[in-house]
Chain A
């Protein structure tokens, strides 16, 4: 529940970014370049986390950057979740040849190195928020598919599926209304893992310069722009790094919490 609380805090901060940000994240004063955060000598509360090399307020950029990270996480988990869930349910329910084809697709996907493929595709299509979400969404569905498939196989053999068939339910209804709710536990846990994974991947892509393009405030991009000054102004890298760490940790903790709570045996 700590994870949930932290995540909620970050979400609120991201939503309220226009209210909380003291400065425009896109506009800097070149005369205010590289001001240190308030805890260093020379820092002030006008720029609590200092400014970057273009004189933009770091706190404001961090807040707006949270939006980008959360959108990436949610968007990617949604797209890859829908793909993976559908494939997994279909493979697990029908078995046989359908299962063979989908398992083959999963193996193909697993043999592609995520970061290299996304680098190549983003390079080809040009980096933008939408492209990054789409690319990651179409790459990260493998774990959803694997987990849903095996969960479906287990549930499929239960008698309530037989009795739904005997009642005359359509196959679609059985898959999506009878079986799908039973794999939701596992689905939510994987969704949180993959959201965190996507956020990190986006940061990596942006760090490599092919993800979200400047001047959009993305945490990965902030780290990238700060890396040249790593030895002189280390906080340029540490602050977005810590933010990334806290966000990913909170999402993962939330996933663990959800798994503990939603086990059907514990429901009352």
Chain B
């Protein structure tokens, strides 16, 4: 990290709950999709946000894009709170690349129209300028100019994702938020898209927020990683230290679950059990304790505080100074 690095995106204690009605006669229950996420992204970093389905990654993404208000907490972009940004101005700074290129491109529009939409909405340049810019952008993402007049259904999945990247980058945003950019693609195409994203990071000086459930993808790209579990970031570190020394039991389980392209190798059991906790009825204490192989009595009672670890922090009683004492007290109680 150099000196010119500045905080471009900051989340502090962001919470998002949804009121969900479950049946006519039942009271509306609150679903905690994101509960207290803090994150500080410096310019030029690539943050990988990992976690299994339902842990709140995509909700977080929607909030950062300004499409979903946070229930509480602060999101600041370029040191200005998100709700103070006008959506039009914000959209010049942050652009998304979505998971499924089959649903992220309007099937009724030509590629030229899709990629040029941001320019048209923001009225940048004349029609000829826009057309030229779109064609340049298509070339940059490795599509032939012929694609300009074709419809999305005439392109392959990989080509469609290139179109999505082109649309996100045409306004030269500073932050690109990729929500599972490769998980809908064939394995052979995944690396092409990732390399494309890496290229643009240097060329256009971008900051990425990469959401994924695949640690292998994240390892390839990210400089920093945040591991999410049930709406909280349970471990945060730079990529090297996280992969060298995963601390949180959940992170270790995730690392174990990465599939390797070796035939004959069985799927490893991450030792997490089969049940995903009910998000309506969260476990007490540490939310991970029902699935944790190293759970201690204290885990059931109190939620762990963040303990600093090399390059970040980890929320686990195993590493917490204070809870070590708590653990002893707990033991003494049990004995008594």
Contact = CB atoms under 8 A, between A and B. Distances in A.
A233 to B, nearest CB: 53
B108 A166 contact: no
Contact of B67 (A165, A265, A268): A165
B172 to A, nearest CB: 13
A264 B100 contact: no
A264 B107 contact: yes
Given A162-B96, A184-B108, A268-B154, 5 more contacts: A158-B103, A166-B94, A167-B95, A167-B167, A264-B108
Contacts of B103: 158-160
Interface in B132-182: 151, 153-154, 164, 167
Interface residues of A, number: 20
A180 B50 CA distance: 36
Interface of B: 62, 65-67, 87-92, 94-96, 98-100, 103-109, 114, 117-118, 121-122, 151, 153-154, 164, 167
Contacts of B154: 268
Most buried by B among A160, A168, A181, A265: A160
Contacts of B164: 163
Contacts of B108: 181-182, 184, 264
Interface string A219-232: 00000000000000
A99 B100 CA distance: 28
A265 B153 CA distance: 7
A34 interface: no
Interface of A: 158-160, 162-169, 173, 178, 181-182, 184, 264-265, 267-268
Contacts of A268: 154
B237 to A, nearest CB: 29
A135 to B, nearest CB: 34
A78 B208 CA distance: 48
B90 A168 contact: yes
A160 B105 CA distance: 5
Nearest to B168: A163
A19 B24 CA distance: 66
B67 A166 contact: yes
Most buried by B among A159, A162, A169: A159
Given A159-B100, A265-B153, A182 B91 contact: no
28 contacts: A158-B104, A159-B104, A160-B103, A160-B104, A160-B106, A162-B65, A162-B67, A164-B106, A165-B65, A165-B87, A166-B65, A166-B91, A166-B94, A166-B95, A167-B117, A167-B118, A168-B89, A168-B92, A168-B122, A169-B121, A173-B121, A178-B106, A181-B106, A181-B108, A182-B106, A182-B108, A264-B153, A268-B154
